[in-house]
Amino acid sequence: MQTQVLMITIVFMLIMAIVFARVVRSVKSEKPLERIETKRRGMIWSMLIVGVIVSLGSLRQWPHSIPTAGSTKSEIVQVNATGAQWYWEIDTTEIPLGKTVVFNVKTTDVNHGFGVIDANGTLLAQTQAMPGYTNKVKYVFDKPGKYRVICMELCGTGHHSMQDEFTVIANTEELGG
Amino acid sequence: MSQAENTKHLTPQAGLVKLTMLISGAVFALMMLIGVVMRASQGGLLDMEPDLFYQLLTTHGAGMVGTAGLSGAGIMWYFLGRHVNLSAKMYIGFLALFLIGVVFILVSTFVGHFGGMWTFLYPLPAMSAGAWEPWAAAAFMLGYVFIGVGFLLYYLAVGVAIIKKYGGLGRALGWHVVFGKADVTEAPPPTVIAAAAVTIFNTLGIVVGAAVLVASLVNLLVPGFVVDALLAKNMIFFFGHVFINASIYMAVIAVYELIPEYTGKKWKSSKAFILAWSAILLFVIAVYPHHLLQDMVMPAWMLVMGQIISYLSGVPLLAVTAFSMCVYLHGSKFKWDLASSLLVLAVAGWSIGAIPAIIDGMVVVNQVMHNTQWVPGHFHIYLLIGEVGMSFGFMAWLVKSKSQKQSGMGAMDKLLLTSFAAGGAGFTLMFLVSGALSVPRRWAVHMPEWFLQDRLATIFALLVVFSILTQVIRYATGLSRNTAK
């Protein structure tokens, strides 16, 4: 997903940069601009229409929804993770492949950020760990192997070293708990 | 512009504003040098202890945000002085309180080793795990209180002056034109409309910031006094978001006032302009939850609001400020100089930077981009190329001599502009690429596989520093030469 986001961003940024470059050249233009306010209104309406479409498309299915009622309970794996300066305590080291995992994230001291990255270093999911609250984030792992948990919210001088790991197991019979 | 018009536009406190911009320029340059050192350290080019890195990061963040606010305030004061009577004593009070605050912050970070970031996210200031003493955290937050009180004094002076002349903030915002029967020719000038909006939202932001600062200070003194962490985070990000936005919305006044001097076309307070600034007033206040998109305990409606208003914030920027500037520039046949080039580049940078910001404001994207280097990527585009660009454009205009006005861009001007634009673009692009590669922000120590972007960013940052340092020196020498403005 991140690569697509970067590509889309760069394309839009380039288009905008080209527009401004043309505007700079237009300082010398002899041709007067026509229907300025019509163009402005068109721009505003276009942005609003695109905004409605993008908002509906991206929010129709709430990205933070946590499966509870109506879900098959056996299909949901609950994992508790607690942050502290500067380590993670995770109540399991092994997680089953292909099941919805709900991470219940807490902290014993300051704010931390619970981030899960794969073997390539790509961030898959995250949530904040906040004093007095339990934040929940779900993820379905579709590849077995080692995953790392890192800290995504500055929590003091050991912030960058606050890391842990777990393994996603393909064969659930191997799960040790 | 004729000499008579120039005289009419003299600002009573121009000397104070020039001093403000000199301080701002020098601090910007110093903070940029700290930025280069940090990127070089992340890239393995320098060996730095993590403790020192986080102190520098805290200094850089607080220093840059504060200086953006200071330079924006200088610009707004200068041009608002063309339309209303402003109190020099209040400005001196603001500047003095700001500088006292800076001393507190520098003592806190460099003597007290405070490294809790410019966001002082509760309860980190009180829970450093031994990295700094409580007095250092208290000094940092007291520094903010001084700066905040200084800004409240500043906005009090601005608000009083505007109300005296226009009879109310609503009229200063032009509401009697869009919601009443008044003709558009009775609308206040763009500078007044912008100043009224910023005065309202930044006063709100600073008051909320002061409340959470006091709560955090009490928590330092009496650890048993516990603050709700979610409430504190909401208040901190409301304050931080509003304050940094205010800096750029104040600085854009330089575009409204100076671009017409080049194009010969007055920047009009049209109905679209008035409505845009009313929308900005609402959006700046309501958009802050987009900083909390990964706090799943937040009410969902607030996060939805954060995403939608993030997007909508782009409309007044692109369809009104940027669009109008493009229209005014078209066919105006003026001769480019460093000041006009930087001002136009700044609006372009602000507009371009809005794209990755809006994309990151989507909940679904934010899930994998939040607190990665994508974030400093987008805010450095509109703050470095945008706000800093506007500030240095204004500074270049302040010290522009008559002979320079005729000659346009010299070779040195072209070099400085290119170095700033190319360096800024490359530097910020490296942040975006790193963000897309999931590199977390605010890590003192980086993995070797992230070094390439860090090192390229260091080189690009050096180009920016060369341009900014040279511009500060030229501004300082130009001040003694030019007293026309």
CA distances from B5 to B17, B129, B352, B395, B470 (A): 20, 61, 35, 20, 31
- What's the rounded Cα separation, in Å, for the pair B93 and B112? 27
Cα–Cα distance measured from residue B129 to residue B133, given in angstroms and rounded to the nearest whole number: 9
CA distance B444 to B192: 43
pLDDT of residue B440: 97
Cβ of B440 within 8 Å of Cβ of A152? The answer is yes
* Nearest in space to B393 (alpha carbons), one of B484, B258, B244: B258
Cross-chain Cβ contact A28/B352 below 8 Å = no
CB contact under 8 A, A131 and B123: yes
Q: Exposed/middle/buried for B367, CB within 10 Å: 0-12, 13-18, 19+?
A: buried
d(CA B328, CA B452): 42
Mark yes or no for CB contact B295/A161 under 8 Å.
no
Cβ distance B334 to A27 less than 8 Å, yes or no, reads yes
Task: Provide, as residue numbers in chain B, all residues whose Cβ is less than 8 Å from the Cβ of A1.
Answer: 365, 368
Residue pair B374/B348 in contact by the 8 Å Cβ criterion: no
**CA atoms of B32 and B210, how far apart (whole Å):** 28
pLDDT for res B344: 98
Q: Where are the alpha helices (DSSP H) in B81-189?
A: 88-106, 134-166, 169-172, 175-178
Q: How far is the C-alpha of A150 from the C-alpha of A154, rounded, in Å? A: 11
Q: Determine whether the interchain pair A123/B368 forms a contact, defined as Cβ–Cβ distance below 8 Å.
A: yes
Q: How far is CA B24 from the centre of its chain?
A: 11
Residues 6+ positions from B459 with CB-CB distance below 8 Å: B426
List C-alpha distances in Å: B378 to A10, B43, B428, B430: 12, 20, 7, 11
pLDDT for residue B92 = 96
The whole-number mean pLDDT for each consecutive block of 10 residues of chain B, a chain of 485 residues, reads 44 89 97 98 96 97 97 97 94 96 96 96 95 96 97 97 96 96 95 98 97 96 93 97 97 97 95 96 96 96 96 95 96 94 98 97 96 97 97 95 69 97 98 98 97 98 98 94 65
Q: Do B437 and A2 touch (CB under 8 A)?
A: yes
Token pair of B200, please? 């309202």
Predicted local confidence at residue B482, as pLDDT: 67
Q: Does domain A73-174 have CATH number 2.60.40.420?
A: yes
Contact B297 A5 (CB under 8 A): no
The residues spanned by each domain of chain B are 13-481
Q: How far is B328 from chain A (nearest CA, A)?
A: 9
For residue range A82-104, what is the model confidence (pLDDT) as tens digits? 999 999 999 999 999 999 999 99
Q: Does B237 touch chain A (CB under 8 A)?
A: no
DSSP A126: E
B442 and A130 within 8 Å at the Cβ level: the answer is: no
Q: Is A113 helix (H, G, I), strand (E, B) or coil?
A: strand
Q: Read off φ and ψ for residue A65, nearest 5 degrees.
A: -65, 140
A-B CB pairs within 8 A amount to: 216
What pLDDT sits at residue B154? Answer: 98
Listed by number, the residues of chain A in 130-159 with a beta carbon closer than 8 Å to a beta carbon of chain B are 130-137, 150-159
- B239 to each of A128, B245, B291, how far by Cα in Å? 20, 10, 12
Please give the order of strands across the beta sheet that includes A145-151.
A94-96, A164-169, A145-151, A112-117, A123-129
Question: Which pLDDT value is given to residue B480?
Answer: 85
Maximal C-alpha separation, chain A: 77
Which residues of chain B make contact with A155, given a CB cutoff of 8 A? 124
Share of chain A above pLDDT 70, in %: 93
Contact B297 A55 (CB under 8 A): no
Q: Record the tokens describing residue A51, joined without a space.
A: 């905004």
Contacts of B215 in chain A (CB under 8 A): none
Q: Write the DSSP assignment of B251-273 as a string of letters.
A: HTHHHHHHHHHHHS------HHH
Residues 372-411, chain B, touching A (beta carbon < 8 A): 372
Cα B72 to Cα B60: distance, rounded to the nearest angstrom: 18
Question: How many of the other CB atoms lie within 10 Å of CB of A11?
Answer: 11
Chain A residue with the nearest C-alpha to that of B117: A154
Cα B297–Cα B300–Cα B301 angle in degrees, nearest 5: 140
| CATH 3.40.190.10 is right for the domain spanning B13-481 | no
List C-alpha distances in Å: B429 to A9, B343, B390, B425. Answer: 11, 21, 20, 6
Starting from the edge strand earliest in sequence, which strands make up the sheet with A76-84, in order?
A: A87-90, A76-84, A100-107, A135-140
Selecting from A27, A33, A159 the residue whose C-beta is nearest the C-beta of B442 gives: A159
Instruction: Tell me if B470 sits within 8 A of B24, measured CB to CB.
Output: no
Question: What are the structure tokens assigned to A20, written together?
Answer: 């401004």
Which positions 49-88 of A are in contact with B (Cβ < 8 Å)?
Answer: 51, 54-55, 58-59, 62-64, 66, 85-86
C-beta separation of B243 from B379 below 8 A: no
Return the closest-CA partner of residue A63 out of B234, B306, B294, B302. Answer: B294
Report how far residue B462's alpha carbon sits from residue B426's, in angstroms, rounded to the nearest whole number. Answer: 11
CA B421 to chain CA centroid, nearest Å:
18
Q: Across the interface, do A9 and B348 touch by the CB < 8 Å criterion?
A: no
Coil, strand or helix: which one is A102?
strand
Of B51, B123, B351, the CB nearest to A157: B51
Domain limits, chain A: 2-59, 73-174
Q: Which of B307, B323, B359 sits opposite A59 (nearest CB)?
A: B307
- pLDDT for A172 equals 66
Give dist(CA B441, CA B372) in Å, integer: 5
- DSSP one-letter code for B287: -
DSSP codes, B377-391:
HHHHIIIIIIIIHHH
Amino acid present at B306: G
Confidence of residue A70 (pLDDT cuts 50, 70, 90): low
Per the CB < 8 Å rule, is A63 touching B308? no
With beta carbons under 8 A apart, name residues in chain B contacting A119.
none
Residue B348: alpha-carbon gap to chain centroid: 15
